[in-house]
A and B are shown apart, each in its own frame.
Chain A
Amino acid sequence: MKISTTKRLERLTERYLNGGMDRRTLLGLAAAAGATAGLSMRWMPQALAAVTEVRFDGWGGVVQEAIDKYAFQPYTAKTGIKVTQGTFGDENEIITKVKTANPGEYQVIHSSGVEYYKRYVDGGFNSEINEANIPNLKNVMQAMIDPFLKIAPKLSCAPYDYGTTGIAYNTTVISDAEAKEKGVALLTDPKYKGKIGGYADMETRLWYAALGTGQNPNDIKDLDAAWAKVRDNRDLVKKYWSSGAELMDLLAKGEIVVSDAWSGRVAALQQQGSPIGYLDPPGSFAWMEDMLILKGSPMTECEELVNFMLDPATAIAVAEGQNYPPSLDPTKVKLTEKIEKLPAFDPSGTMKSLTFADAVYWGDHNDEWTKQWDRISKGG
């Protein structure tokens, strides 16, 4: 129920007269109201009501270029709402910014994975979207929606794409046969000491260490052995990369010949003609990304944008551009041949062929393991 300003002041006066409020508080509130009224101008309500732009923050590089070209530019042309963009290399970076900003300053985030979604929820940054405003959500795989609903009963995001962090290798140095035979062990192969790379991220490191020690990454029994494997890898690594652009640069320049790598970025390198092979070993780290709407955002416009992005024509064009399969259910929406050939593509729409991180398991250990990884990475 909306209450008018007059009614509010009447209620305040009544509380004061009834002894429910001291004189100082009443005067303070009256002064604040007066100051607000004095500072307000006639154009303010209209200006506040008319949303002319939406803020988006993503991973930059070829991924964001594709989103901009195939989603944002057509969206602006259609609605007149501009999409202001920012980038980040690591999602913790944007969480820090969100934490320090006023609600509504950051609005839509291209968030990576359910584990990060949990962090936003834990921090109280999540919104509640009105699914009726995003009718294209019905085309999204239910298998991608369910993990988010386990974290919070009301969605704050729409799953958008998915991919894997597999193993990329320089085919002029490592043959396909060798890569297939060694698999995860390539990341700790002393033969390639000083030519190995890796993502500077706790989850990726520990995931591959778990696989390297023959354990289930979602239920690591021998943690010491896994950390020992992380150290083995660290001692052989030339550089832990911290952004997709850095990964592509290191691989393309030959600074490293093998690394765990994001499937879409490797596909982009292959399309550019780089001699890079890609392998998803058994248990390869799969992840899903979502368009997260933060608390305080102009919900209607953000929902409209997300709905536009999930429109099959848009989502397919973006997927082809960024080289990550879309969240659209292939049993409901006809996808293109190019998408069906992308690494990690799941034609069944059930995602059963991929291994995702258990958000609760990883979330429960996140603080402790991130601290441990930060130390190990620095020689600890």
Chain B
Amino acid sequence: MLSAADRRRPWLLLAPSLITLFVLMILPIAIMTMFSFYEFVTAGVEKQVFTTQNWHDFLTDPFYHMFLWKTVRVSAITAILCAFMGYPAAYCIAMTTYKHKWVLLLLLIVPFWISFTIRTFSWIHILGEQGVINVTLMKLGIISEPMPMLYTEGAVIMGMIHFLLPYMILNVYVAIEGIDRNLISAARTLGCTAWQAFYEVVLPLSLPGLMAGLLLCFVLAAGSYVTPQILGSTRDALFGNIIFDTIMSELNWPMGSTLSLVLLILLGAVAAIYSRYMGLSRVFKGLGG
């Protein structure tokens, strides 16, 4: 029989995490939920009376639905492109016989040493009319007019891939690294070609890591607003930008809170579906390296 002190101990140990979680997550969400039922009076002013008007506006206004769908589409494209680009890189790092593998892993982390905003701004000097690509192509005589690359949806996706690719590579790398090499040798011994061994053994076993990477990339892309703000035109805004404008430009906190909760529910649902079939532990494993 556990004593009262023994029963209390786990709670005492958990207390710092629970308090942090409560103060930094539960409480802000609760406040946002409260605000979503307040009445917007004028810019920066709201009345603390219960109304479902904000939710009604969201549910009936196609403008919000269009941007929610666009966010899902752009985030899905970004996550899939990250998978296509990240998988070969992760496979190479995991399978290389190069004795200083840590250098390759370090290279993955190096971009994180530079501010995210600066990294995003750097694309302006690459994709802009006076940027490296246009200037080079024009000097080579390949094009006569600068190509419009900056302030497009493509630029936004490119910027997000730049920021998310390491997350994908790390997740897939951890999954491939965990595969028993004897399984690949056994497949080859039993007559598989190198491609078949990859297709029949490595790919299925690394799938959970790939899925975890897809989830992470999707969720982070769907929640981003800085990249579309810097690299996109106003038409390339995502749902995060709609939230930003509603709060910062219209100063309409009740509606902004409603839209924030919508995004939270959407991303929470995606994570819940993933957890139901794959388990979230994969994501944490990938993040932990």
Contacts and interface: CB of A to CB of B under 8 A. Distances in A.
Given A194-B148, A371-B250, A375-B63, A122 B245 contact: no
A159 B44 CA distance: 23
A347 interface: no
B74 to A, nearest CB: 13
A119 B44 contact: yes
A377 interface: yes
A239 interface: yes
A374 interface: yes
B235 A92 contact: no
Contacts, number: 74
B225 interface: no
A122 B129 contact: no
B43 A122 contact: yes
A374 B250 contact: yes
Nearest to A255: B129
Interface in B40-85: 40, 42-45, 63, 67
A172 to B, nearest CB: 14
A340 B130 CA distance: 36
Interface stretch (A93-101, A266-274, A281-289, A304-312): A93-101
Interface residues of B, number: 27
B54 to A, nearest CB: 13
A202 B246 CA distance: 13
Given A254-B130, A380-B63, A92 B248 contact: yes
A123 interface: yes
Contacts of B44: 95-96, 99, 119, 122-123
A196 B268 CA distance: 40
Contacts of A24: none
Contact of A374 (B43, B129, B151, B245): B245
B251 interface: yes
Q: Which of A202, A234, A377 has the most CB of B within 10 A?
A: A377
A93 B247 CA distance: 9
Contacts of A375: 63
Interface of B: 40, 42-45, 63, 67, 128-130, 148, 150-151, 233-235, 237, 241-242, 245-252
Given A96-B251, A238-B151, A378-B241, 20 more contacts: A92-B251, A93-B248, A95-B44, A119-B251, A122-B42, A122-B44, A123-B45, A237-B233, A240-B234, A253-B129, A255-B128, A255-B129, A255-B130, A366-B43, A367-B250, A367-B252, A374-B249, A378-B67, A378-B237, A378-B242
